[in-house]
Structure 1
Amino acid sequence: MEGKWIFTEAKRTEEPMMVCFRKEVLVDRVCDRCTIQISADSRYFLYINSDMVDCGPAKMPAGLRCYDELDITPYIKQGNNEIFVKVLCYPKDSLKALGFSSGPISVITEGVGGLLIHELDTNYGLSTDESWMCAKIDGYGFVKNKFAGYVGFSEHIDYERVQASLDNNMKNAVVVMDSANSNPYGLASFWQLVKRPIPQMYMEKKDTFKLMRQYDNTYEYDAQVYVFAFPAIKVSGKQGGFAKLTYAESYGRFEETGYVKGVRNNPDRQEIIGEVDYITLQEGETIYIPFYPRAFRFVKVEVSEDVEVEEFFYYETGYPLDVQAEFKADDEVYEKIWDVSLRTLKLCMYETYVDCPYYEQMQYMMDTYLEAIYTMSVSDDSRLVKKAINDFAYSQLPNGLLPCNAPSSFVQVIPGFAIYWLLLLDAYFMYEDDVEFVKGHLGTVDRIIDFFTRHINEDGLLGDTGFWQFFDWVDGWERGVPVQKGVNILYNMLFVLGLRTAAKLNLSVGRLSTHNEYLALANSLSYQIIKHSFDKETGLFKNSPNDEKPVSVHAQVFAVVAQVVMCEDNKRALMRTTVENAGKLKPMSYAMRFFLCRALEETDMYDEVYKTFRIWDAYKELLELDLTTWPEDFVTQRSDCHGWSALPLSEFVRCYLGVRPIEYGFKKVGIYIYDSPFEKYSGTAVAKGKEIFVDIDNVTGNVALRIPKGLDYELKDFRKNVQSPKYLISTY
């Protein structure tokens, strides 16, 4: 890249700051194509001739920085053109990051600031150098968030001071460094520049706001669905007037027990409470769009007496996922469950997967594993999945563990989440024939396995791994940890699942000795788990050898999915006993029910999903609260949009439509149909970019399939309530 990194000065920033860059270029003749490569430390927003073009760069782990390649031809005109770039530069300060005072935790920065643009096809003079003008912007205030510290800051903008900075403080930029990744002697830059591995985020203007109520100079709006968007408000008034925007997922209220949400769109005795952006106007008309998108369904707009709201809309943004799967049923509530699940997933896909768009916006490993499964169930676009695998692998710690979230400005560790990365690599390989990519990550796998192996005690069980041994959000489990002291059997089972998965991956690429080593260790651990934690009186597993009796569904489910119990008859007996005692055992959260479904599927008891465990009834109850996305859990319902709760996407495709990969690389398709709560349903699944059409009538037993010619598939029908099924199979 020929452009150079430019900034206001060659000095690390100690506080968050907004810097604006500007250049005017004269274009004698508009060329057929004008492409630029652009990056920034830490984030940029590009405008050309006052039009919003794009923002970035995509979030990456430490040591890497993306550049975006943008076709800006539609924005260039003959004559004078103004290129204007806003750059937010965050300080590199670990202590400030721990106090949520450095910026979004998911945005890695070096604090050197700057903008980099390289012009590819043309010679308009767009590449960054000393000819660019820039200014640090006074009047752009960073306000620490009250509820969502992970996502950075709210804004407090004084437009009169901002305009004064633009008018009076512009000066020639300083070249901080060139764009090379190293000098001729190999001295590396702060980061290695890499091309963005995912598409640009989409932005779509929408106006769905409904005025809920108005009082004094306050307006309360409902977007009618949960959104992740750039709100845009046009106001007019005198200099010094103000507008204040409060963003919330729901109407709610504070009680002695904490923040309580009821029916989400019911304002009665409830209010809009959340993060706040505040603007002070200049004379006349002001259009405010925050630098970073906000998550909200409800917005409260408060203005001073002399200010009028002229227009209020938003630019919805997110990962441009092409959803190819469809689901239709004779009961419309299940179609709504499907639609809400899709919205939940898509709102948790941005430049990385995120746990939730409102609070952390962090790519947590367990969340990402489930969100990736849901993504690949409904689309053949796995680019964000592949990026997530790399994000965590590039962040591996010296002890072999992975941080529980990445990219991140600080290190947070949940040891068990490293196993979910292993499962993610395996899941990606099931859907994508990408052998070399998988082989390239087996070293990461080995180091994860090595960490856990080093923590096996003399009794042959995995001992204390340290850090935060979170497993699930369950009532009574402090911080989500099932065993506060002693051996955690659930972690042992999770490790066994990781070992068997790692063994399978190694076998697939010919590493036979490593496969055998991991399999032997898995079998040894399984023996010790059964020996120390299986309760013969109840026929169930305990969470810890020190427990008096079994207390959770979790231990039974993971004994099955991890193949701790190998005999098929014993697995079925264990799950039958679990079903019989379901009301006495601690239940699994929305997220963990993915594994419950796998255990029921494996033991031919999948009908218990909607019978004993009534999983879909829980979603129906949420719809009665007017939720348009699925919440984090049923214990706190802290977040109203959590990607790991979009379970119906995988289940409706995998077990009701029946379509799933049964060999690595989707080389063979399984069409395994299970009992469902519908009489008739249909839908579309996707396998390696090809659509499979499924139409099922449980009354007559008929199954109609339309599949691509040459598809290697295996059809199995596990329905118990159908006597004489008929199969109508056509190809296209």
Structure 2
Amino acid sequence: MKSRRRFFLIRYSFLFIFCYVNNICAQLQELNVPSVEYPCRRWEASWITCPGISTVDYHVLFFRKTFDLNEKPDRFIIHVSADNHYFLYVNGKLVTTGPARSDIRHWRYETIDIAPLLNKGKNVLAAQVNNWSVYKGWSQFTRHTAFLLQGYSPEEKMVNTDGSWKVIAVPAYRPKPVRWGDLPGYYGSYACDTIDGKAYPWGWQQPGFDDSHWFAARRFDNAYNHEEANGYWLLTPRTVPLQEMIPARVAEVVQADPAFLPPGNPFNGKDSLVIPPRKKLVFLLDNKTMTIGYPVLELSGGEKATVAITYAEALYYESKVKGNRNDIKNKKIYGLTDVILCSGCRHCSYMPLWLRPFRYVQLVVETREEPLVLHHFYYWYTSSPVQLKAYFSCGDKSLEPVWDMCWRTVKVCAQDILMSDASWEQLQYIGDSRIHALTLLYLSGDDRLMRNAIEQFDYSRTCEGMLASNYPNDGLSIIPAYSLVWIDMIYDYMMNRGDRDFIRKFRMGILQVLGWYENYLDSTGLLKALPYFNFTDWANDNEASGVFPSVKAGQSALATLQYVYSLLHAVKIFEFLNDTAHAVYYKNLAEDIKINVFNRCWDNERGLMAENPLKNEFSQHTNILAVLTNTIAQHEYARVMEKVMNGIGMTKTSIYYDFYLFEALCKAGLPEFFFKKMEIWKSMVQQGLTTTPETYARPRSDCHPWTSHPAYEMISFIAGIRPAEPGFRSVIVAPQPGMYNTIQASLPLPAGEIKVNLQRKGSHGLGGTVVLPSGMQGTLIWNQQQIALHGGEQKISVK
């Protein structure tokens, strides 16, 4: 798969990439990531806004600042932020968007060096600031429409936001809300846009634009850092890299009136398409893979014409069933729709206010009395700049597109937060983020979004110590089990990175979550009925099964063992932090609870753990946790997991919870069932999916990272590469190739790369090579034999 990985990278990153001269996005770097090198210690700039507007209502504001430089600078560092969202331009070039989503108490600002884009003489900074108000996505906090920019040093203070900036409220944008029923599923992200070209001040980002009729910006408020605990927004540096923005072209027109469709792609920027007056034409474009970004449509003429652009993950039959994603016959598009009202201007480019996820795009063009020229349709592919660095191969070519699908999913949904999905909610859920973060970490070696998620979940803590199920979110949703999963995320980070100072920040939060749960233990040692939304899994691939009856009723083995699972992780964290007292206390508590669960819920007749002491319900989930927590004896692992995989009379896991199923199969030494389960993911590929879906049967979302975990398991389970101690200071390589004879894999780490190239020798032997980073120690485990590993390359020969 290594050669295919290279091809996939080239295709994913560079195919259809082009340089469009008038729309070059400068790829600048966030200077305060990975460490804060350029903090703003004191804010001298002010938050500014537009005179005469309500700062809590929907608005799009354009800001400009013209300034002169005696010479081109070597360095020109600025801090920039806004509420809700900004696009920053330097001398007409799009620089970046922001701020990274967070809450009011930790409002992010970006820090960038714009010197490469500045010139001797006159220069212009321009910013578009959007406030969606009540039409915002749920991940968006907001207080007032405002903009903030400050130079890092006295040499740059000339651009500080104050009354010298010009501003105008632009009526060109109107919100186009996504109403309940518009889409075949639950939607919680941003509104779409109606863009009126006649009301748009074309060329406003450019140095030569006449802004003499614009208003002087109104000072709104002082700016304060988080430590000052004052003001509307408490500012903190961005903690994740700037998203990359790469121009890309939608692959192919697959449906259109042939009379008006010239050969080739009429939206490629070379072959303009002229739509005659008084015509209505429909064009369907297929990108071939799921993607995300800011689309741009360049038009000329066609005054009073309209263009409705709909973006969708898939097409639907009348029954709202998607079927094979490659099929388009007898299907309709349901998705996010922007509407452009054409002004008649020449070479005008329209772009929405927020990201548009899509595979399919439909353009419905209606002209009036003038012809409309479609010059170009492309998009700024937008994602965190993480790169695929891992690889895996076992000789099974049918697993290669599964690997690709998993990587594309985590990449598309890696933005300024770990988005739960590309299209529907775009929230950062704890349960989703654990899997997303681990898969992204193993495949890219990048931990920055993982750290950010752990920290942001801690921001959401309520007065009773529990966390919001997703954050940032200015509402409140509590799934108790997700507070436990947050502890599991910290454990994952500890084992893979081992940053003790970072982990120590969450010690009190961990204690609060564990204490909350402990208060719900009853006299039997099992958990009572818990408040809030007790989601576990879309069991049996059915949304109605998200909350298990036993969990709702109390004395649930499932809920109690999930508490034990996180208790055991917390014990390791406390040991790592040298907090011996809490490590001992919670270790003893976990052991006591396990005994109580086993004594009350183990069913000798079935040889399985029941859901409750009545022993009238059984689930795969509870037995998975019984293995993962060592509640049953080690010699029972394989037998129990074989019964779990049989599944008779048991509530079954969804493809999300299969993450935990695979972890238990790894522990039980049953790789054959992993490969059997991979038939589900292979069937996704056969159904035309290019990213992993939310559920297997009739998924709402076609791009959901919580089902991307097979790529993680290929390395951690099948290749067997796992940390042996915190910070990956040493490694365990315990391959489980199942039916396959070869395993090749690599895992990127800060210290270097772990590589395995192993082959079966005869019926029981193993040969090949293992490469560890310099200074790393490890152990190879094969057929109950252990071989010491050291830094560098070593040959393996086990009989």
TM-score after normalising by structure 1: 0.92
Post-superposition CA distance 1:506-557 (Å, at most 9, x none)? 122222221122122212222222233222221112223345242x211110
Which amino acid in the other structure matches residue 554 of structure 1? H
Deviations 1:357-392 (A, max 9, x none): 100110000100111111221233211111111101
State the Cα distance separating 1:164 from its structure 2 match: 9.5
TM-fit CA distance, 1:138: 1.1
Q: Gapped runs of 5+ residues in structure 1?
A: 92-100, 721-726
Check the 8 A contact 2:737/2:743 in 1, yes or no: no
| Matching residue's letter, 1:406 | Y
Q: 1:549 to 1:107 in 2, by over 3 A?
A: closer
Aligned partners of 1:557 and 1:704: how far apart in 2? 33
Change (3 A) 1:149 1:25: farther
CA contact (8 A) 1:553 1:585 kept: yes
Find the counterpart in structure 2 of residue 452 from structure 1.
517
Q: Which residue of 1 aligns with 2:683?
A: 621
- Deviation at 1:331? 2.4
Amino acid of the structure 2 residue aligned with 1:229 = G
Q: Contact 1:473–1:479 (CA<8 Å) still a contact in 2? A: yes
Is the alpha carbon distance of 1:319 and 1:398 closer, same or farther for their aligned partners in structure 2, counting shifts above 3 Å?
same
Q: After the TM superposition, which residues 624-643 of structure 1 pair with which residues of structure 2 at under 5 Å, given as runs?
A: 624-643=686-705
Give the 3 Å change call, closer, same or farther, for CA 677–237 of structure 1 in structure 2: farther
1:6-85 pair list within 5 angstroms: 6-9=48-51, 13-85=55-127
Bigger Cα displacement from structure 2, 307-316 vs 473-482: 473-482
Q: 1:350 aligns with which of 410, 415, 427?
A: 415
Offset of residue 294 of structure 1: 0.7
CA distance in 1, matches of 2:503, 2:569: 13
Superposed displacement of residue 124, structure 1: 7.5
2:305 is matched with 241
CA shift digits 1:303-343 (9 cap, x unpaired) = 11332321111110111113321123422221221111111
| Partner residue in 2 for 1:507 | 575
Distance 1:494 1:325 in 2: 31
2:630 aligned with 1:563: yes
SS in 2 for 1:685: strand
Equivalent residue for 1:263, pick from 305, 313, 324: 324
- Alpha-carbon distance in 2 for matches of 1:8, 1:654: 54
Q: Please report how far the alpha carbon of residue 110 of structure 1 lies from its aligned counterpart in structure 2 after TM superposition.
A: 1.6
CA contact under 8 A between 2:530 and 2:554: conserved in structure 1?
Answer: no
Q: Which among 518, 522, 532 is matched to residue 586 of structure 2?
A: 518
Q: Distance in 2 between matches of 1:120 and 1:218?
A: 53
C-alpha distance in structure 2 between counterparts of 1:55 and 1:471, whole Å: 36
CA distance in 2, matches of 1:413, 1:110: 23
Partner of 1:96: none
- Which residue of the partner structure matches residue 18 of structure 2? none
Of 598-607 and 334-343, more deviation after overlay is shown by 598-607
Quote how far apart the aligned CAs of 1:503 are. 1.5
Deviations 1:580-626 (A, max 9, x none): x335433212221111112122122233222xxx2111111111111
The range that moved more, 229-238 or 364-373, is 229-238
Partner residue in 1 for 2:782: 717
User: For residues 543 and 522 of structure 2, what CA distance do their matches in structure 1 show?
Assistant: 24
C-alpha change, 1:683 and 1:574, in structure 2 (3 Å) is: closer
1:275 corresponding residue in structure 2? 336
**Unaligned segments of structure 2, at least 5 residues:** 1-42, 205-210, 258-279, 786-791
Equivalent of 2:484 in 394, 419, 442: 419
Distance in 2 (CA, whole Å) between partners of 1:549 and 1:340 is: 35
What is the identity, as a one-letter code, of the residue corresponding to 2:539? V
Query: Which residue in 2 is equivalent to 1:135?
Result: 168
Contact 1:657 1:694 in 2 (8 A): yes
Question: Aligned letter for 1:173?
Answer: A
Farther off after superposition, 404-413 or 456-465? 456-465
**Number of paired residues?**
705
Q: Which residue of 2 aligns with 1:673?
A: 735
2:391 equivalent to 1:326: yes
- d(CA) in 2 for partners of 1:87, 1:593: 42
Tell me by how many angstroms 1:300 deviates: 0.2
- In structure 2, how many angstroms separate the alpha carbons of the residues matched to 1:588 and 1:558? 12
Q: Which amino acid aligns with 1:260?
A: V
Amino acid at match of 1:71: D
What is the rounded CA distance, in whole Å, between the counterparts of 1:718 and 1:236 in structure 2? 70
CA contact (8 A) 1:34 1:121 kept: no
SS of 2:48's equivalent in the other structure is: strand
Runs of 4+ in 1 over 6 A off after TM superposition: 164-169
Q: Indicate conservation of the 8 Å contact 1:237/1:307, yes or no.
A: yes
Change (3 A) 1:263 1:373: same
1:398-431 Cα shifts (integer Å, max 9, x gaps)? 1111000011110111110001000000000001
Residue 170, structure 1, aligned to residue 214, structure 2: yes
Q: 1:199 to 1:308 in 2, by over 3 A?
A: same
| 1:568 to partner: Cα distance | 1.3
Structure 1 counterpart SS, 2:289: strand
Paired letter, 2:45: G
The change in CA–CA distance for 1:521 and 1:681 in structure 2 (over 3 A counts) is closer
Give deviations 1:198-219, integer Å, cap 9, x for gaps.
1111011112420010035111
Q: Report % sequence identity.
A: 24
Most deviating of 194-203 and 9-18? 9-18
Tell me if structure 1 keeps the 8 A contact 2:222–2:231. no
Larger mean Cα displacement after TM superposition, 703-712 or 113-122: 113-122
Q: 1:512 to 1:719 in 2, by over 3 A?
A: closer
* Whole-angstrom CA distance in 1 between matches of 2:440 and 2:647: 30
Q: Structure 2: how far apart are the matches of 1:137 and 1:165?
A: 13
What amino acid does structure 2 have at the position aligned with 1:472? D
Question: 5 Å matches for 1:688-703?
Answer: 688-698=750-760, 701-703=766-768
1:299 is aligned to 361
Cα offset, 1:718, TM superposition: 4.5
Q: Does 1:398 align with 2:436?
A: no
C-alpha deviation, 1:31, in angstroms? 1.0
Do 2:130 and 2:145's aligned partners in 1 also have CA atoms closer than 8 Å?
no
Q: Distance in 2 between matches of 1:238 and 1:607?
A: 61
Q: From the superposition, tell whether residues 461 and 62 of structure 1 become closer, same or farther in structure 2 (CA, over 3 Å).
A: farther
Assess, with a 3 A threshold, how the Cα gap between structure 1 residues 309 and 195 changes in structure 2: closer, same or farther.
same
More deviation in 120-129 or 240-249? Answer: 120-129
- Equivalent position to 2:438, from 356, 373, 376: 373
Residues 82-93 of structure 1: matches in 2 within 5 Å? 82-91=124-133
Question: 1:78-127 CA deviation, whole Å, 9 max, x = no partner?
Answer: 33222210001244xxxxxxxxx341111211225333333547447221
Residues 1:251 and 2:315 aligned together = yes
Tell me, in whole angstroms, the C-alpha distance in 2 between the residues paired with 1:242 and 1:470: 44
Deviates more, 1:480-489 or 1:287-296: 480-489
- TM-score, normalised to structure 2, is 0.84
In the alignment, is the contact (CA less than 8 A) between 1:680 and 1:698 conserved in 2? Answer: yes
